[in-house]
Amino acid sequence: MSATVVPLGPQPAAPPSLVEGPAAEPIHLDSYVELERTTVTYGRTPNVVHALAETNLRIAKGDFVALVGPSGCGKSTILKLVGGILRASSGYVYVAGREVEAEPVRIGMAFQNPTMLPWLTIRDNVMMPLKIVPPFRAEYRRKRKGEFRDRVEALLAQVGLKGFGDKHPWQLSGGMLQRASLCRALVHDPQLLLLDEPFGALDQFTREELWSIMQQLWITRRPTVLLVTHDLREAGYLANRICVMSARPGRIIDDKVFEAPRPRTLAMTYEPDFVAMTQRLRELIVEARTDEPAETTP
């Protein structure tokens, strides 16, 4: 994910479908996350980048959706929109029934680079969202040595990091740091989990181990998850629905539910149905890449 975000273009007016309701009552209830005719353009003339073409996407509460597609097609851009980090150039983004950010939603995020604060222990890094995010932050001082500490220890144990809470980030391997990063993304019980290639930098064995941990965490906590990945096996192992994007400016060109029983196993990913599914996704992406427009879009 790029760090700098420069959205361009007029900010959308209030959507016609959004009628003001009582403050606590969500009014766009069809789905938990929704993109409606959303576009994103970065930069300013003459360096304009049309990242996202008009895109519609609906995600039900508690679902696990994977976004796949050619490099640079706008996957992370969608994640940023849903996380409220980036505003749409046109169209609308709804989360929990309201325009994004209008409704306080606890969001957990994990990226390819875990970016832990080096001067803090793993425990304190994982505890960070409890210090920042309401309603936890009001109780942080009182509970950080008791209830919150127990919560972190339980999560660390669940991902195989029991006993590592006192270590500093530099004392852990890449795979261990990514486990800790998943704990940090989940410690405040997020309703929405945004994952941007969180296992991308890991070796295959560690990655597969973390798929299993991620699946278990989703089964027990059921947050709504949006996962960006280049790994089609990973998408199939973890997600209930896989959306394929076109080359930039991206839009969703294929959107299929992938029904396989839970918990899924690695062995399942070598079964003929699974292999056929990933092969189909691969073909769609190869096709999308060859349809890629010229570097500068008008």
Ligand X SMILES: Nc1ncnc2c1ncn2[C@@H]1O[C@H](COP(=O)(O)OP(=O)(O)OP(=O)(O)O)[C@@H](O)[C@H]1O
Binding site for ligand X (CB under 6 A): 1-2, 4-6, 42-43, 49, 51, 71-77, 248
Nearer to ligand X, 73 or 232 (CB): 73
- Both tokens of 236, joined, read 């199939």
Nearer to ligand X, 83 or 169 (CB): 83
Number of C-beta neighbours around residue 243 at 10 A: 22
- Given the DSSP bridges, would you call strands 33-42 and 49-59 parallel, antiparallel or unpaired? antiparallel
- Per DSSP (E only), the strands in the chain are 33-42, 49-59, 64-68, 90-95, 98-99, 107-111, 192-196, 224-228, 241-245, 252-257
Nearer to ligand X, 1 or 268 (CB): 1
Report the nearest approach of ligand X to the CB of residue 197 (Å). Answer: 7
**Are 228 and 81 in contact, with CB atoms under 8 Å apart?**
no
Nearer to ligand X, 66 or 161 (CB): 66
Nearest to 196, CA basis, from 113, 110, 285? 110
Nearer to ligand X, 1 or 128 (CB): 1
* Largest CA-CA distance found in the chain, in angstroms, rounded: 57
**Are 90 and 52 in contact, with CB atoms under 8 Å apart?**
no
Report the nearest approach of ligand X to the CB of residue 72 (Å). Answer: 4
CA end-to-end distance (rounded Å), the chain: 24
Amino acid at 265: T
Nearer to ligand X, 156 or 202 (CB): 202
Nearer to ligand X, 68 or 210 (CB): 68
Nearer to ligand X, 187 or 194 (CB): 194
CA 129, CA 185: separation in Å to the nearest integer?
8
Report the nearest approach of ligand X to the CB of residue 144 (Å). Answer: 35
Report the nearest approach of ligand X to the CB of residue 70 (Å). Answer: 7
Report the nearest approach of ligand X to the CB of residue 228 (Å). Answer: 6
CA 229, CA 67: separation in Å to the nearest integer?
6
**Are 189 and 28 in contact, with CB atoms under 8 Å apart?**
no
- Per DSSP (E only), the strands in 171-240 are 192-196, 224-228
Report the nearest approach of ligand X to the CB of residue 63 (Å). Answer: 20
Report the nearest approach of ligand X to the CB of residue 270 (Å). Answer: 26
Report the nearest approach of ligand X to the CB of residue 142 (Å). Answer: 40
